[in-house]
Amino acid sequence: MTGHLRALVAEVAGTFLFFFVGAGAIVATGGDNLVAIALAHGLGLSVAVSSFGGLSGGHFNPATTFGLAIAGKHPWSRVPTYWIAQSVGALIAGFALRYAFEFDPSALARTHIGTPSLGGGVTVTAAIVVEAILTIFLLWAVFGTAVSPLAPRIGGFGIGLMVAADILGGGAITGAAMNPARWLGTAVPAGFYDNWYVYFIGPLVGAAIAALSYRYIFAPEDLAPTKSVAPNP
């Protein structure tokens, strides 16, 4: 198996792990326990990044891949294949959750299998801005704890903590997806597509802003952003 194919399989597996645990917590709690939902997403992502990061870079998020490419830390030629792998892992998680919770159809219907959605009275514009801001925070954590040569060696712990914090802060506003695949994986099996563009525009814009800030402001001046976080083939 080539290095790139191994990386794609790792992205499928890590995305599946992350979303099954995170969205599963939403369905299991009826979406009413924000702390449990934040912890499930944060812990799931921490383990996924630590487990598969050495193989694929541990993106599990099209916005993360996009931001890393803008920052010069991931080859643009591999962005489409990573996005496909992440979407596949997300959809497997969503359909697996629908099967796992067949015994409680009311929970599946009430939570749309854990699909992020806007809080009451939240406008589309505000939701896009919030998703962008939350994604900026997430990508800063990625760059600061995993990408930078000055990063502390803490595996995926810092990234998972940031996801948990983002959900605690923004979960009531937008569901705090920060991840187009996170929305897609549950929306398709749930057949729930309300405000879908929020979960694409917001995270991608936020990722671009974070990437540009890292590349031109935060990156060490003597270390040009040319090294990819994806493994060589």
Give per-residue pLDDT as tens, 17-26. Answer: 999 999 999 9
Half-sphere exposure of 54 (CA within 13 A, CB side): 5
Percent of residues, the chain, with pLDDT higher than 70: 94
Q: Residue 117 — left, alpha, or beta (φ > 0 → left; ψ -120 to 50 → alpha)?
A: beta
Q: For residue 225, is pLDDT > 80?
A: no
3-218: in CATH 1.20.1080.10: yes
Predicted confidence at residue 90, as pLDDT, reads 98
The DSSP secondary-structure symbol of 145 reads: I
Boundaries of every domain in the chain: 3-218
Rounded mean pLDDT, 129-149: 96
Rounded mean pLDDT, 113-137: 98
Q: How confident is the model at residue 223 (pLDDT cuts 50, 70, 90)?
A: low
Predicted confidence at residue 230, as pLDDT, reads 46
Do residues 3 and 233 touch, judged by C-beta distance below 8 A? Answer: yes
Per-residue pLDDT tens over the stretch 141-168: 999 999 998 888 888 999 999 999 999 9
Do residues 131 and 206 touch, judged by C-beta distance below 8 A? Answer: yes
Rounded mean pLDDT, 116-134: 97
Question: In terms of pTM, does the model score above 0.85?
Answer: yes
Helix (H, G, I), strand (E, B) or coil at 127: helix
Which residue reads 């080539």 in tokens? 2
Rounded mean pLDDT, 185-199: 97
